[in-house]
A and B are shown apart, each in its own frame.
Chain A
Amino acid sequence: MHIPDGILPISVTASGYAATTAITWYSVHKINQKENPREDIPKAALLSAAFFVASLIHIPVPPASVHLVLNGLLGVTLGYFAFPAILIGLFFQAVMFQHGGLTTLGINAVIMGLPALLCFYIFRLRNIAGKGKRMTGGFGFSAGFGGVGISAVLLLVILLTNIPADLDAGIERTAIFTLTLAHVPLMAIEGTFTALMAVFLQRVRPEILVGV
């Protein structure tokens, strides 16, 4: 689900880098405002690694299997550390596995990271709505579904508006719409999985859901 090198024009990749730099700067700024920023660094780093590993779990969806993105839950558990964590994870993937791209690091981070931050804020509404099993499950589902859904839409919009094809605006819109629709089953799986994880965490270690 990451855009590789060579496809996007430099205007887009450069804007991606600019946005990533800004959001990262803001995140680091917010982190430094904490009482003891260093205390949370090991938690944030190890949780990022855990999410990375968790995303490698094969979910059997016959005839194949899928890997989850889990950016929604990542946003929930890491808070302001989420964007740096995603950036590090993407960098690692691009360098080690050539998955994603080097010029597209910025834009890929934005595609994955902005929804993560959004999910962090939305999940906090739990503080008002209640932290019971149903609420946690419901918010978990939204985080999973929404996190991946928004990423998918962003990805498709960026790709389809930038590939060198003189497509009619109407056709483009239809394409984005249909392709997004095609992703809905995956979004549902991601939502369900996230809900199940959130309920588990609420039972076992509720502090994780409060965010670092």
Chain B
Amino acid sequence: MNIAVDQYVHLASPLHRWEPRCKLIGLMALIFAFSFVGNLSILPAMVAVTAALFIVSKLPVSFMLTRLRYPGFFILAVILILPFISGHTVVLSMGPLDVRQEGLISVLSIATRFLSILTIGLVLFGTTPFLTTIKSMRALGLPSILADMAFLFFRYLFEISDDLRRMQTAMRLRGLSLRRFSIHGLRTLAWLGGSILVRSYERADMVYKAMILRGYGHAGRSQYDLRASSRDLIALGVVLMLAGGFIAGDILA
């Protein structure tokens, strides 16, 4: 599995250096603020702020473009359909289809919001290792059950997907065809899925034993080395005010 989002977490930029909890709170607040904005006049500011943050993060543009591809398809569908069904003011007539103004406007705001939010998301998670993200959330109050599940999920995802690949290869070498559809093929794949579940279930038993052998459940854990300097907090303050500004700006406009 290609975990490409973690590719650039080792670069050095102010965003990489920003304390992870502050970064998480600040940028998520900004993302929510962006999702609130609907007014056309605010959109340029959104784009400007997004671009600025992206530049500061020193993440390569190619990175953003490749990550945009997959989720972009859904938005593309929306962009292609909405102008033809939303609104009443017709601006262009293409035969039986009428392009409506309200639809175009919606499309513009949807696309801008989507791109901005996605980019800020990349800035946030492209500069923070996934594990650090979970640790920060735990430090911010995420229940230990969820945090522990997340750590184990992340840890064993790779092992399990390796298991799957190996089993699929073995099946293919014995004639499983992934091109035709058949009940027999479906049953084989169902057994494959079932085997993955059973193996993981059994492995979990051993993992639990390994955990209690090293004291799982005893007090004294969750010592995370997270310390926010005054610079981190000031940056957080600035970004929160920015988020607030967007919301206020949208309401007032």
Partners in one complex: yes
Q: Which residues of A contact B (CB under 8 A)?
A: 4-8, 10, 13, 24, 28, 31-32, 37-39, 41-54, 56-62, 65, 70, 77, 81, 84-85, 87-89, 91-92, 94-99, 101-103, 163-167, 189, 192-193, 196-197, 200-201, 204-205, 207-208
CA distance A51 to B164 in the complex (A): 11
CA distance A57 to B196 in the complex (A): 11
17 contacts between A and B (CB under 8 A): A5-B35, A5-B118, A13-B32, A41-B149, A43-B205, A45-B156, A45-B204, A60-B177, A84-B146, A95-B133, A98-B118, A103-B117, A163-B78, A193-B193, A196-B186, A196-B190, A200-B191
Q: Which residues of A contact B149 (CB under 8 A)?
A: 41, 44-45, 48, 81, 84-85, 88
Min CB distance B136 to A, Å, is: 12
Knowing A41-B152, A96-B5, A165-B85, the reply to whether A24 touches B146 (Cβ < 8 A) is: yes
Min CB distance A206 to B, Å, is: 11
- Contact of B145 with A101 in the complex, beta carbons under 8 Å: no
- Contact of B190 with A38 in the complex, beta carbons under 8 Å: no
Q: Which residues of A contact B203 (CB under 8 A)?
A: 46
Q: Which residues of A contact B157 (CB under 8 A)?
A: 49, 52-53, 92
**Contacting B114 at CB < 8 Å: which of A7, A48, A167?**
A7
CA distance A98 to B68 in the complex (A): 8
CA distance A89 to B149 in the complex (A): 10
Q: Which residue of B lies closest to A194 (CB)?
A: B190
**Contacting B196 at CB < 8 Å: which of A13, A50, A103?**
A50
Total A-B residue pairs with C-beta atoms closer than 8 Å? Answer: 230
| Interface residue B86 (Cβ < 8 Å from any Cβ of A) | yes
- Contact of B153 with A92 in the complex, beta carbons under 8 Å: yes
- Interface SS of B by simple majority: helix
Knowing A6-B117, A45-B156, A45-B204, the reply to whether A201 touches B198 (Cβ < 8 A) is: yes
* B 193-208 contacts with A by CB, 8 A: 193-194, 196-205, 207-208
- Contact of B71 with A98 in the complex, beta carbons under 8 Å: yes
Min CB distance A178 to B, Å, is: 15
**Contacting A201 at CB < 8 Å: which of B71, B197, B200?**
B197
**Contacting B35 at CB < 8 Å: which of A6, A189, A200?**
A6
| Interface residue B211 (Cβ < 8 Å from any Cβ of A) | yes
| Interface residue B242 (Cβ < 8 Å from any Cβ of A) | no
- Contact of B130 with A205 in the complex, beta carbons under 8 Å: no
- Contact of A164 with B106 in the complex, beta carbons under 8 Å: yes
| Interface residue B20 (Cβ < 8 Å from any Cβ of A) | no
